[in-house]
Amino acid sequence: MAELLVQAPDGRRLAVDTHGDMQGRPVFLLHGTPGSRVGPLPRASVLYRLGVRLISFDRPGYGDSTRLPGRRVGSAATDVAVIADALGIGEFAVLGRSGGGPHALACAALLPDRVTRVSVLVCLAPRHAEGLDWYAGMTEANRHSYSEVERGPHRFVDAFQVRSRKIKDDPTSLIKGLVPELSPADRTLVSDAGIRRMLLSTYREAFRYGAYGWIDDVLAFTTDWGFKVEDITVPTRFWHGADDQFSPVEHSQWLSDHIPGAELYLEPGAAHFGALRVMAEEMKWAAGPAS
């Protein structure tokens, strides 16, 4: 693994890790919410077998990346392009998991000449997606958090800061808080020692300097994304666990219905964290040739 700091034109720093085969096909991994560049991601041996050069980075406000107040989901495309330029990469694929999904779609919509394929796992749809009951099927905790955001930032910023300090000191507290609302399949996955270790590492890094990455992600999801998903023309594939209640499956169904040619794979019995199990396979597809 190689670590570096990339400077954006506006002076911000972007913390970047590269993994796997440095001569392989470049794939950007957009992390979840909350999350960071450290994972979860496939093991180095898997990336070498796939022939993938994986690039992950902290979105602004997470880990070592400078905050960008007021950022939209679409802002991720600018940062990905800056990182690709710094690494000498022309074309690349993008994979986004959970909160990284909308940001991966931003790259596909706004960088159509550079993104070859985009794979999106357990994604949210735009807040005001026409014909979608956005909150239907969502866990009570998620409904509460997003509805508080929509009533005004002052109602949730302090609470998120308190939660982030708690999670930084004890990353297991976030997983413990999720457990009561996890499906049986997800409970089994997060009890796996390797997956739990990756989740704890990413949460610890995410909140290194506070909660603003998390706060800004949630604000971005609930306001205008800065692009229209209907404009996406690159090959797009969605994966969603049918029992997901954190990002309900209807969100990916709506997205796949509104993106020309998009494919949707629904897995019965799987839920939100099932995306970790299929990540390598989705990365293999994403790294394939444009079609």
Q: Which CATH class is domain 2-286?
A: alpha beta
Indicate the range of 150-164, 191-205, 242-256 predicted with least confidence: 150-164
- Domain range list for the chain: 2-286
> Does pLDDT of 93 surpass 90?
yes
Q: Which residue has the higher pLDDT, 164 or 115?
A: 115
Q: What pLDDT is attached to residue 291?
A: 62
> Does pLDDT of 104 surpass 70?
yes
Q: What pLDDT is attached to residue 147?
A: 85
> Does pLDDT of 153 surpass 90?
no
pLDDT band of residue 2 (cuts 50, 70, 90) is: low
Average pLDDT, the chain: 94
Q: Which residue has the higher pLDDT, 35 or 161?
A: 35
> Does pLDDT of 276 surpass 70?
yes
Q: Which residue has the higher pLDDT, 170 or 124?
A: 124
Q: Please provide the DSSP assignment of the chain as one string.
A: -EEEEEE-TTS-EEEEEEEE-TTSEEEEEE--SS-BTTBS---HHHHHHHTEEEEEEPPTTSTTSPP-TT--TTHHHHHHHHHHHHTT--SEEEEEETTHHHHHHHHHHH-TTTEEEEEEESPPPPTT-TT--TTTT--HHHHHHHHHHHH-GGGTHHHHHHHHHHHHH-THHHHHHHGGG--HHHHHHHTSHHHHHHHHHHHHHHTTT-SHHHHHHHHHHTS--SS-GGG--S-EEEEEETT-TTTTHHHHHHHHHHSTT-EEEEETT--TTHHHHHHHHHHHHHTS---
Residues 102-118: what's their mean pLDDT?
A: 98
> Does pLDDT of 150 surpass 90?
no
> Does pLDDT of 108 surpass 90?
yes
> Does pLDDT of 114 surpass 90?
yes
191-248 pLDDT tens trace: 889 998 999 999 999 999 989 999 999 999 999 999 999 999 999 999 999 999 999 9
Q: Which residue has the higher pLDDT, 130 or 1?
A: 130
Burial profile 17-34: b = 16 or more Cβ within 10 angstroms, e = fewer: bbbbbeebbbbbbbbbbb
